[in-house]
Copies of this chain bind each other. A is one copy, B any other.
Amino acid sequence: MRMRQLAVIDLGSNTTRLIVMAYAPGEQYKLVDEIRERVRLAEGMGPGNVLRLPAVRRAVKTMEMFAAFCRAHGIRRVIPVATSAVRDATNRAALLAEVRARAGLSLRVLGTREEAHYATLGALNSMDLRDGYVVDLGGGSLQVAEVRGRRLVRSASLPLGTVRLTEAFVRSDPLDNGDAKALARYLREAFAALDWFKAGDGKQLVGLGGTIRNLAKIDRAERDYPLDLLHGYVLPAESVRGSAARLQRLPVARRAQIAGLKADRADVILAGALAVRALLEHSGFEELTICGHGVREGLFFEVFMQGRSRPLIPDVRRFSVLNLARQYHYEPKHAAHVAHLAVRVLEQLDPDASDDERALLWAAAQLHDIGMAVDYRNHHRHSEYLLLNGGLDGYTHREIALLALLARYHRGGTVDLAPFGRLLRRGDEARARRLAALLRLAEYLERGRHQVVRDVQVTRRGGALRLRLLTRGDASVELWDAGRNLELLEEAFGARVVLDG
Task: Kindly identify, within residues 14 to 53 of chain A, every residue whose CB is under 8 Å from any CB belonging to chain B.
Answer: 30-35
Known interface pairs A73-B450, A378-B228, A450-B73; A477-B390 also in contact (CB < 8 Å): no
A114 CB–B CB distance under 8 Å: no
**What chain B residues lie within 8 Å of A447 (beta carbons)?**
69
Known interface pairs A382-B389, A385-B385, A476-B64; A30-B376 also in contact (CB < 8 Å): yes
A419 to chain B, nearest CB (A): 15
Stretch of A157-165, A297-305, A367-375 at the chain-chain interface: A367-375
Taking CB as reference atom, which chain B residue is nearest A62? B480
User: Is A33's CB under 8 angstroms from B373's CB?
Assistant: no
Q: How far is the CA of A228 from the CA of B381 in the complex (A)?
A: 11
Task: Kindly identify, within residues 359 to 391 of chain A, every residue whose CB is under 8 Å from any CB belonging to chain B.
Answer: 372-378, 381-382, 385-386, 389-391
Q: How far is the CA of A92 from the CA of B386 in the complex (A)?
A: 47
A449 CB–B CB distance under 8 Å: yes
A386 to chain B, nearest CB (A): 6
Known interface pairs A68-B477, A376-B31; A449-B385 also in contact (CB < 8 Å): no
User: Is A68's CB under 8 angstroms from B476's CB?
Assistant: yes
**What chain B residues lie within 8 Å of A377 (beta carbons)?**
31, 34, 391
A65 CB–B CB distance under 8 Å: yes
Q: How far is the CA of A69 from the CA of B373 in the complex (A)?
A: 21
Q: How far is the CA of A342 from the CA of B51 in the complex (A)?
A: 41
A124 CB–B CB distance under 8 Å: no
Taking CB as reference atom, which chain B residue is nearest A475? B68
Taking CB as reference atom, which chain B residue is nearest A376? B31
Q: How far is the CA of A69 from the CA of B372 in the complex (A)?
A: 18
Task: Kindly identify, within residues 382 to 416 of chain A, every residue whose CB is under 8 Å from any CB belonging to chain B.
Answer: 382, 385-386, 389-391
**What chain B residues lie within 8 Å of A474 (beta carbons)?**
68, 71-72
User: Is A72's CB under 8 angstroms from B449's CB?
Assistant: yes
A452 CB–B CB distance under 8 Å: yes
Most B CB contacts (10 A, CB to CB) among A71, A378, A381, A480 go to A480
A448 CB–B CB distance under 8 Å: yes
* Interface magnitude class on chain A: 35 or more
User: Is A72's CB under 8 angstroms from B389's CB?
Assistant: no
A286 to chain B, nearest CB (A): 29
User: Is B73's CB under 8 angstroms from A448's CB?
Assistant: yes
User: Is B68's CB under 8 angstroms from A449's CB?
Assistant: no
**What chain B residues lie within 8 Å of A391 (beta carbons)?**
375, 377
Most B CB contacts (10 A, CB to CB) among A64, A68, A476 go to A68
How would residues 466 to 501 of chain A score, 1 for a CB under 8 Å from any chain B CB and 0 otherwise?
Answer: 000000001011001100000000000000000000
Choice from B30, B389, B480 contacting A378 with Cβ under 8 Å: B389
A379 to chain B, nearest CB (A): 10
**What chain B residues lie within 8 Å of A69 (beta carbons)?**
447-448, 477
Q: How far is the CA of A477 from the CA of B37 in the complex (A)?
A: 12
Taking CB as reference atom, which chain B residue is nearest A71? B474
Q: How far is the CA of A228 from the CA of B385 in the complex (A)?
A: 14
Most B CB contacts (10 A, CB to CB) among A33, A448, A477 go to A477
Q: How far is the CA of A452 from the CA of B72 in the complex (A)?
A: 9
User: Is B477's CB under 8 angstroms from A34's CB?
Assistant: no
Choice from B32, B61, B374 contacting A376 with Cβ under 8 Å: B32
User: Is A33's CB under 8 angstroms from B376's CB?
Assistant: yes
Q: How far is the CA of A386 from the CA of B385 in the complex (A)?
A: 10
A394 to chain B, nearest CB (A): 16
Known interface pairs A65-B476, A65-B477; A376-B72 also in contact (CB < 8 Å): no
How would residues 221 to 245 of chain A score, 1 for a CB under 8 Å from any chain B CB and 0 otherwise?
Answer: 0000000100000000000000000
A335 to chain B, nearest CB (A): 16
A484 to chain B, nearest CB (A): 9
**What chain B residues lie within 8 Å of A372 (beta carbons)?**
32
**What chain B residues lie within 8 Å of A390 (beta carbons)?**
374-375
9 example contacts (A-B, Cβ-Cβ < 8 A) are as follows A31-B375, A32-B372, A65-B480, A68-B448, A72-B477, A73-B450, A374-B385, A375-B390, A381-B389
